[in-house]
Amino acid sequence: MTDEQRSSEGIGSFPRTFWIANVMELFERGAYYGVMSVLAVYLRMSTQDGGLGFSETSVGFLQSIMLTLTYVMPIVGGALAERYGYRRFLLLAFAVLAVGYFASGHTTSYGVIFLTLLLIAVGSGVFKSILSGTITRTTTDGNRSLGFGVYYWMINLGAFLSPILVSYLKGNFSWSYVFMASAVWCVAMLVLTLVAYREPERPKSTKGMGRTLSEAVTVLRDWKFVLMIVIYSGFWLLYFQMFNTVLWYMVDHVDMTPADGCLTSVARFFGGSKALKFDVAYVTSINAGTIILLQVIVSRIVKNLRALPTMIAGIVIGTAGFIILSISANAWVFIISMVVFSIGEMTCHPKYFSYVGQIAPKDKVAVYMGYSFLYGIIGSLVGNNLGAILYKKIATEMDRPRLLWVIFSGIGILTVIGLAVYDRYLSPEGSETQGVDA
């Protein structure tokens, strides 16, 4: 590679707007995952302990609608932002997010917090579509892969760091400070948008909602594609347990004393004197931290492997995480299960997007990629509600929490079988025989 090629494809090749967008991504994802790392616990915790005291099923339903909306809004927000301008909708997204976060930390009514969390979902969904569009518009064919690598690293860095801050805020102040911190980050990013964000060049868009709906019909008529997504959604039923039932399980049934002692020993090694505890928010940090440390290694291992079998292998690993979770309520078993599941996630999910790009009609790749998120709608709607119902019946009323993870392990196994059968009999002919994906 020549010096000229390095300068056009390396880390110094990105324009200023690219870096501004990534700073926004870091803080917005930090605000989002900071709240999501403890939201289910806060909503369910008794009012005497500072929570809102809602039932598991009420929390599961609320989260299912909120998370579903975050997967729907990028379609609407993306179409509008392409037509009327990224900067305008960034300002709108951050304003909505700031209001949503602040209001969520200052209400105790189920109906009101339902609405404020929907504001967060709307703002987050709109922001997500604009940021991915900005990264696309500020990169070239030569540096786009690196550009999106930086973008995804920022997502996980925000998800890793923010729960640590959340643990400090709720432990030393109150739950409302968790929401206020997220609101402050969004206000800061609104100011950054005003003073530093420059509209990237983009082709004039005439795409309206009518065309968006027409594209949806086109995709949904491809029954093989839809069936693949439905099967793949089984894995995401497991994933969404990370934001409610896994957190409740840790609080209710796992003795984290060994992990507390380990954290305290590490802190004292570096001169700290305060005893530390393994906070429930750290579950999100484990997931993001594992991806930060291992994603490059895993990606290199699976780089030249067929997409669908790699997805299946990733789901096998993720399911193994839930099987481990069902073995014991020991603190280290719990932590290991989270790490194993995260390895499964980073193995299968990038290959999912690769596979969608391979099987989509060549003239509709962008459209199919735009609707590949449907797994998230199914996973969040079914996963959050199913998890909450089963947790209440099995973990709370029957006091058999490990049986819950056996059931979800079974869902993972069925997903593996379903995708294996799909690969054998229904996977589009020749979709992965024309060459390996990079």
Over the stretch 274-325, which tens digit does the pLDDT of each residue have?
Answer: 899 999 999 999 999 999 999 989 988 988 899 999 999 999 999 999 999 9
The token pair at 213 is: 């709906």
Residue 258 in this model has a pLDDT that exceeds 90: yes
Arithmetic mean of pLDDT, 79-97: 91
Q: What are the domain boundaries of the chain?
A: 7-207, 216-428
Q: What is the pLDDT of residue 206?
A: 53
Q: What is the pLDDT of residue 205?
A: 56
Confidence of residue 204 (pLDDT cuts 50, 70, 90): low
Confidence of residue 2 (pLDDT cuts 50, 70, 90): very low
Q: What is the pLDDT of residue 433?
A: 41
d(C-alpha 345, C-alpha 305), whole Å: 16
Q: What is the pLDDT of residue 5?
A: 46
Residue 341 in this model has a pLDDT that exceeds 70: yes
- More confidently predicted of 166 and 201: 166
Over the stretch 408-420, which tens digit does the pLDDT of each residue have?
Answer: 999 999 999 999 9
Q: What is the pLDDT of residue 9?
A: 64
d(C-alpha 377, C-alpha 122), whole Å: 14
d(C-alpha 138, C-alpha 17), whole Å: 7
Arithmetic mean of pLDDT, 5-23: 80
Tell me what the pLDDT averaged over the chain comes to. 90
Residue 183 in this model has a pLDDT that exceeds 90: yes
Give yes or no for a contact between 44 and 51, defined as CB atoms under 8 angstroms apart.
Answer: yes
Give yes or no for a contact between 361 and 428, defined as CB atoms under 8 angstroms apart.
Answer: no
Residue % of the chain over a pLDDT of 70 = 93
3-state SS of the chain is CCHHHHHHHCHHHCCHHHHHHHHHHHHHHHHHHHHHCCHHHHHHCCHHHCCCCCCHHHHHHHHHHHHHHHHHHHHHHHHHHHHHCHHHHHHHHHHHHHHHHHHHCCCCCHHHHHHHHHHHHHHHHHHHHHHHHHHHHCCCCCCHHHHHHHHHHHHHHHHHHHHHHHHHHHHHCCHHHHHHHHHHHHHHHHHHHHHHCCCCCCCCCCCCHHHHHHHHHHHHCCHHHHHHHHHHHHHHHHHHHHHCHHHHHHHHHCECHHHHHHHHHHHHHCCCCCCCCCCCCHHHHHHHHHHHHHHHHHHHHHCCCCHHHHHHHHHHHHHHHHHHHHHCCEHHHHHHHHHHHHHHHHHHHHHHHHHHHHHCCHHHHHHHHHCCCHHHHHHHHHHHHHHHHHHHHHHHHCCCHHHHHHHHHHHHHHHHHHHHHHHHHCCCCCCCCCCCCC
Q: What is the pLDDT of residue 436?
A: 38
Over the stretch 326-335, which tens digit does the pLDDT of each residue have?
Answer: 999 999 999 9
Q: What is the pLDDT of residue 321?
A: 98
Confidence of residue 434 (pLDDT cuts 50, 70, 90): very low
Q: What is the pLDDT of residue 363?
A: 73
Residue 64 in this model has a pLDDT that exceeds 90: yes
Own/partner pairs for 173-179, CB < 8 Å, 24+ apart? 174/50, 175/42, 175/50, 175/51, 175/105, 176/105, 176/106, 177/105, 178/34, 178/35, 178/38, 178/42, 178/105, 179/35, 179/101, 179/102, 179/104, 179/105, 179/106
The token pair at 139 is: 């990169």
Confidence of residue 74 (pLDDT cuts 50, 70, 90): confident
Over the stretch 346-387, which tens digit does the pLDDT of each residue have?
Answer: 999 989 988 988 888 877 777 787 788 899 999 999 999 999
Q: pTM of the entire structure?
A: 0.92
Residue 212 in this model has a pLDDT that exceeds 80: no
Residue 19 in this model has a pLDDT that exceeds 70: yes
What is the CATH architecture of 7-207?
Answer: Up-down Bundle (1.20)
Q: What is the pLDDT of residue 215?
A: 73
What residue type is 318 in one-letter code?
G
Q: What is the pLDDT of residue 359?
A: 86
Arithmetic mean of pLDDT, 106-132: 95
Residue 4 in this model has a pLDDT that exceeds 60: no
Give yes or no for a contact between 324 and 336, defined as CB atoms under 8 angstroms apart.
Answer: yes
The token pair at 355 is: 């596979």
Over the stretch 30-51, which tens digit does the pLDDT of each residue have?
Answer: 999 999 999 999 999 999 999 9
CA angle 25, 285, 20 (to 5 degrees): 15
What is the CATH architecture of 216-428?
Answer: Up-down Bundle (1.20)
Residue 437 in this model has a pLDDT that exceeds 60: no
Arithmetic mean of pLDDT, 4-18: 73
Give yes or no for a contact between 163 and 285, defined as CB atoms under 8 angstroms apart.
Answer: yes
Arithmetic mean of pLDDT, 244-249: 98
One fold for 7-207 and 216-428: yes
238-252 as b/e: b if 16+ CB within 10 A: bbbbbbbbbbbbbee
- More confidently predicted of 148 and 293: 293
Confidence of residue 203 (pLDDT cuts 50, 70, 90): low
Q: What is the pLDDT of residue 95?
A: 98
Q: What is the pLDDT of residue 168?
A: 94
Give yes or no for a contact between 29 and 158, defined as CB atoms under 8 angstroms apart.
Answer: yes
Q: What is the pLDDT of residue 8?
A: 59
